Structure 1
């Protein structure tokens, strides 16, 4: 029998981003947690691997909270004696008041002194994290995010108008924040940047494109990182089946520019097989999205110099 009074595990996520990524970061937060945060700290019962996001620095699986550091130390003393070695890390935050190096080390030492076990600063078996945020102290198991997207920058084939791996990873998260049981499609997949990021996070996704010349490179890119998914030569109007979400980076370069009528037909096709859509576009196409039957529920701008893309989330 489940105990309805059982306390749910809470997690603290520590975010950071560049100035031109603020809106994209916030949209990804809302997709994961249903909220965003001006101070780039999110506390939630929802568990997300920090390495999924290009913006999550690290996560604390919260064990103790307290209004004073001494309260945390008292609770730390109550931990079951550890058989493994450990280290305590004071989290560096992106936008909160900066805590100096010496003060962070002092807090780490003071807390670590009371953990029942053997400390190891170089190769610990367990990492604990501590932070002062929102007027309270938080302590728990620490997990650092890895920049998996960075590894995907070195792929065999590139494309001048492709999304960066960092943006592509965020777009995949916005489309499929919780992958269990979800099916996704990228029906204009190009060189496969979104496919690689989605596959690396365990998202069930397939791809297709109307350009047969690019698809061998797409398949090479996917295989290069040890992933596999169906990638077909297919017009979006020929897609069959049913998907939870479609990710569409709208064609816009000189070789693949399409008219507003063609954009409408493309999105109407997506409406026939997808319950949700995440669109990347450089053009204002709100009316086209709505005429295709989708309701715009969220959005952001992504800037790179003078170049701006929109990421738009639509639902039926």
Structure 2
């Protein structure tokens, strides 16, 4: 049996995208981030989800909210069989200028945990909304664009109210090692512009370089240097979009001492040279 797509509409970088798939083969999503919000719902199976600076064990009935520009990646936990649905949407789709917009709707994206574990009756309610969305986008009857936005608002409102009415269990790391790696990731997120090595981190967090290297990869799916460079390039992209700083200044601000090395790493991650990226995004 091969992976089967139940429904897909749009592309990931569109204003609105939805993808429903059942997988039977091992699958890992590349580490990535994007400027759209993401909602992920697991119908069946189990997954690991690394989001921003911590790993979550996801089970059937879990609803996941990923804020825009947060690094995230899914990976397996053993049995690859799982069914999930993903929605991406932009600020343009239902942003501050839209008449349906309300800051309360975005509460789940700013909660202290990215995951809501729903009870059975709430799973049924959420799945009904997903079903209506798929039906509306398949049929594309007159006014379907408007109704799609209303259904998205219904999902967001349901989730925000759920968080308001239910005490969610405090997030707990899967193990002390998971907590230590999360602490290290948070440190990198704050100090990426400083010079750091695996050795200096291992000394600071009292863990051997070999064990740190192995655990970091196992838990985050990044090697240490991959994550450090990923974080630096992500910030460089922001600076190239939002400032007029010279390329060499941007490189230095995010922690690169060598402009040629910065250019190589930037192009490897974005498929564009820094100057090409700036011109494209202006």
- TM-score scaled by length of structure 1: 0.25
TM-score w.r.t. the length of structure 2 is: 0.27
The structure with more radius of gyration: 1
From the two aligned structures, give the one with the greater strand fraction.
Answer: 1
> Would you tell me which structure has more helix in proportion to its own residues?
2
